[in-house]
Structure 1
Amino acid sequence: MFTMKLRKVTVAAATVLALTGTATACSNDKGSDEGKITVGIKYDQPGMGQKTPGGDYAGFDVDVATYIAEQLGYKKGDITFKETKTPDRENALKNGDVKFIVGTYSITPERDAQVDFAGPYFLAHQDLLVRSDSDVNKGTDLNGKTLCSVSGSTSAQNVQKKIAPKAQLREYNTYSECVSGLSSGAVDAMTTDDSILAGYAAQKQNKGKFKLLGLKLSNENYGVGVKSGDKATKDKINKAIEKMVSSGAWEKAVKANLGPADYDNEPAPKIGEIKK
């Protein structure tokens, strides 16, 4: 009888352990598992999010992502950065491929319907980048001149609509190609978010070559993307952002990554404050 009772207890205990293990496995997604976390960033935006030729990761967004992950309890060695290109971001969060995304991810109603956003943690604006010796000093000076943006972007059309209807548009596949065209004189200006433009201008090889005009053609509220319904992670990230700002680490990261371009950044926005 004693043996029978022992067998029943052992079987019951094993069943409980199995169920516990199953529940634990189900509660984790691929974005965070077994003390590791995968974070989405951009790989091709100098000053914001870039994978360097040496395989390191650098930029303001990388610094923000690292700070948040550490506040969530992960060490630097536990963080894996995954490239999340603009068209792939929502699916990466839905599928659990990443736990959160920090990658010049502007909060819009369309995106907010698919994922949740912590923040915003940064306010950028659409602007123009020109050569330092350029006679283009305001948007209207672009009439009759060549404006570069990437294929599929609405930034150049926005410039035409608002300030320079006679600007000649030229589209390249990447911002790096626009920068090369601007440097060589093939184009007279390029346009996108000022944070991205400042990142290129701040690169060592571009120091002193370019200037931002500071036109503030739009408000781009950068948020940290999380899976829809993941309120717990969103709340923790908001607290991490607030701590990064109050500790001075936020301002330090901005100056370190974008300061060389003489970028006049906006103060850190308040959590939940979206500027239209």
Structure 2
Amino acid sequence: MQDNFFLRKRMNTMLFCAIMLVITVIAIIITEYNVIKGFTSIPKAAEWAFNNFYPNEKALKKLPDIATSLVETLLVSVAATTVAAIFALLFAIAGSHTTGVGGIFSWISRSIATLFRNIDVAAWSMILLISFGQNVLTGYFALFFGSFGFLTRAFMESIDEVSNSSVEALRATGASYFSIIFQSVIPSSMPQLLSWILFMVETNIRHATLIGILTGTGIGFLFNLYYKSLNYSSASLVVIFIVITIFLIESVSNYVRKVIL
């Protein structure tokens, strides 16, 4: 019986791999992609980047503009995440199996979270460009909507996982709904909630670069501007600043997680 189970599982794995291989071959044929040329061009691309894509004295003069745009991107990312986290917590409490009020309200909360979570921030940017145009507000709302959907779902799971037993105990003692929320649910799940918020900040900083290209704002706009004007030295400096910032944010985030978890 057990041998049949593992045999069936192995066959399913092999079937899945075969299907993926067939899809890959079909995609290569349709797109007329030259696999050999693609891999052999990697050394030439690396050589070009080594000879052209590095900061020089001219690029260093752009440091004030790059720093200003980077700070703007960071502030928009953090602001969108923190405000989205507040709304996400409210919807998560309403939609959670542990704390939800049930009925149509829980269904609406979960449906809204699912809708916002399944639309990528890049798609949100293109949708919002029609209404707000190319400005910081468009990027902010794109990050806000994407963060709201993701955090609502993550908060729901955290609340259901951590707070179930304590909520049942408080209900047995006759505690009110708001007492349960503020004395049990939020305190017990706060470390996990903060961890998700930090993760979302990291993610939004990465997304903000792409969104900046679409909305014409922030560090993404500067990179796009320098690259299209063939100012590769300044574009490389932008990339270096983005990478360093992401590493710093991730280091701080990891440290905070170790403290709170």
TM-score interval (norm. to shorter): under 0.3
Higher-helix-fraction structure: 2
TM-score of the superposed pair, with normalisation by structure 2 = 0.26
